[in-house]
């Protein structure tokens, strides 16, 4: 069985180790071998923590023998962490040479929670420099390739996680999302994720600046990534909850009393403002049909004032990133600097009156969307308007890139949970279907994603490269 352990879900692996069908050592060795076999082609894992993982597996096996009633929910399960998440003994590099020797003094809270449940970190995954591009390429760790096609992006900025999970190098991963960085790789690599409501998972990393501007405080979130929605749920259950290091983190139940009950769902298969590839729209509509077949009432209708919501996100982010641009651009390589420069040319910062008015606009838009959620608790939409693009396509036209990623932006600026799961193929590449819900209704977003997954089938690891022609 050991040579197939890398293909199993985190939930399956935890059950096998707990029941002593396999040992944690066997599970870890299977994943380390998988990393050795496929990572040279993909470059998804930037730092392999083989020695630490083997030592942790030995400790886990001893605990299985001596304390079988004290095993955590991820006991013996290999996981990976993006390189901008604090893990003691491993650099929080943000994928730039300037931070390559930045070793954090303590773990971020979510890491302690995962380790406390028995997870074993086998590696750190690549990301775009400073998280500033929707693709994963960095001067420190190089280019990450999509396991479906070597010429296509794995998404960004958490593209290393997406590629590692999709190819079986890890059973569960953690990334973060300010502008789609969890959902972009899920779409490109055919896996599942949840961008949670801000405040659910504490944010307390030491990467400079540790607190960040208001846009980072209000929009940036950590979140779980996996091949199956059930593992995303498990990751959320473990990582959620208030922590004193994050003053905005909250204790809010993940599941509400009416969880798992059907409700009305809106389908926005072709968002306004820019053309959606017809094959992508078809996948989204089929996802809506699957949800309808499961007993939900489904209407095809656009989200309210969608284009204005997107504009608020862009204005907010670019006004504040402008303040940090010297720090950011100094650390980035030529491609990253070009992308950010082009982005400033496309959407310059607001003046002070415009910045103050931005929060008036955001407040009004939150009310408009909340009214919509009263009738349609979940919106099904594309994640991107097309499939994973070719490497460096984002450098050709920032305006086209911003439009391509348009569907991810409302959930960030309005603080909404958004799950993504594999919905099918278009042009031979995976399409992620996005399920957006009202704030703190993360369970409803995952619920609809799970219905789609049940109809399509949970993804299994792919071997590079199935579309190499």
Q: Tally the C-alpha atoms within 13 A of residue 332's C-alpha that lie toward its C-beta.
A: 22
Q: Which one from 82, 167, 215, 366 is the annotated catalytic residue? A: 82
Angle among Cα 32, 148, 166 to the nearest 5 degrees reads 40
Q: Which one from 23, 167, 181, 192 is the annotated catalytic residue? A: 181
Report the alpha-carbon distance of residue 60 to residue 70 in Å, rounded.
11
Tell me the CA distances in angstroms from 122 to 27, 115, 171, 375, one per residue in order. Answer: 11, 12, 10, 44
63 counts as catalytic: no
Identify the bridge partners of residue 422 per DSSP, sorted by sequence position. 432
- Calculate Rg over the CA atoms of the chain: 21
Q: Which one from 56, 90, 157, 366 is the annotated catalytic residue? A: 157
Nearest to 285 by CA among 275, 300, 306, 263: 300
Report the alpha-carbon distance of residue 456 to residue 436 in Å, rounded.
19
Nearest to 466 by CA among 120, 145, 27: 145
By the 10 Å C-beta count (0-12 exposed, 13-18 middle, 19+ buried), 290 is classed as buried
100 counts as catalytic: no
157 counts as catalytic: yes
Give the three-class secondary structure for 76: coil
Tell me the CA distances in angstroms from 32 to 78, 305, 466, one per residue in order. Answer: 9, 48, 22
Q: What are phi and psi of 91, to 5 degrees?
A: -70, 135
Which residues are the active-site residues? 82, 157, 181
């Amino acid at each position: 069985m050991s040579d197939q352990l890398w293909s199993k879900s985190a939930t399956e692996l935890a059950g096998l180790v707990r029941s002593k069908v396999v040992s944690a050592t066997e599970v870890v060795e299977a994943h380390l071998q998988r990393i050795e076999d496929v990572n040279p082609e993909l470059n998804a894992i930037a730092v392999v923590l083989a020695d630490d993982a083997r030592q942790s597996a030995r400790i886990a096996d001893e605990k299985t023998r001596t304390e079988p009633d004290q095993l955590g929910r991820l006991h013996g399960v290999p996981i990976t962490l993006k390189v901008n998440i604090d893990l003691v003994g491993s650099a929080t590099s943000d994928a730039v040479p300037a931070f390559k020797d930045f070793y954090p003094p303590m773990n971020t809270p979510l890491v302690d929670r995962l380790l406390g449940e028995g997870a074993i970190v086998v590696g750190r995954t690549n990301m775009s420099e400073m998280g500033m591009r929707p693709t994963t390429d960095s001067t420190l760790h190089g280019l990450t390739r999509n396991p479906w096609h070597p010429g296509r992006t794995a998404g960004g900025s958490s593209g290393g996680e997406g590629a590692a999970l999709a190819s079986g190098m890890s059973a569960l991963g953690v990334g973060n999302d300010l502008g789609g960085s969890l959902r972009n790789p899920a779409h490109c690599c055919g896996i599942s994720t949840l961008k949670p409501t801000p405040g659910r998972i504490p944010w307390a990393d030491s990467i400079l600046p540790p607190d960040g501007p208001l846009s980072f405080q209000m929009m940036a979130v950590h979140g779980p990534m996996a091949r199956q929605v059930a593992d995303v749920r498990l990751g959320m259950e473990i990582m959620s909850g208030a922590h004193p290091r994050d003053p905005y983190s909250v204790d809010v139940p993940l599941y509400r009393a009416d969880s798992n009950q059907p409700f009305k769902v809106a389908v926005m298969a072709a968002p306004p403002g820019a053309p959606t590839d017809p094959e992508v729209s078809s996948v989204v509509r089929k996802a809506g049909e699957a949800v309808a077949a499961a007993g939900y009432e489904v209407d095809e209708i656009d989200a309210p004032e969608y284009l204005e919501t997107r504009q608020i996100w862009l204005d907010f982010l670019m006004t504040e990133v402008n303040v940090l641009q010297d720090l950011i651009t100094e650390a980035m390589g030529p491609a990253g600097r070009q992308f950010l420069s082009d982005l400033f040319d496309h959407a310059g910062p607001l003046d002070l009156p415009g910045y103050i008015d931005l929060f008036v606009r955001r407040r009004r838009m939150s009310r408009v969307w909340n009214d919509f959620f009263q009738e349609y608790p979940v919106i099904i939409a594309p994640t991107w308007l097309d499939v994973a693009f070719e490497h460096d396509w984002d450098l050709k036209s920032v305006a086209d890139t911003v439009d391509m990623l348009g569907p991810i932006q409302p959930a960030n600026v309005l603080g909404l949970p958004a799950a993504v799961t594999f919905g099918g193929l278009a042009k031979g590449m995976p399409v992620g279907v996005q399920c957006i819900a009202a704030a703190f209704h993360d369970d409803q977003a995952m619920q609809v994603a799970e219905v789609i997954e049940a109809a399509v089938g949970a993804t299994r690891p792919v071997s590079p490269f199935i579309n190499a022609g």
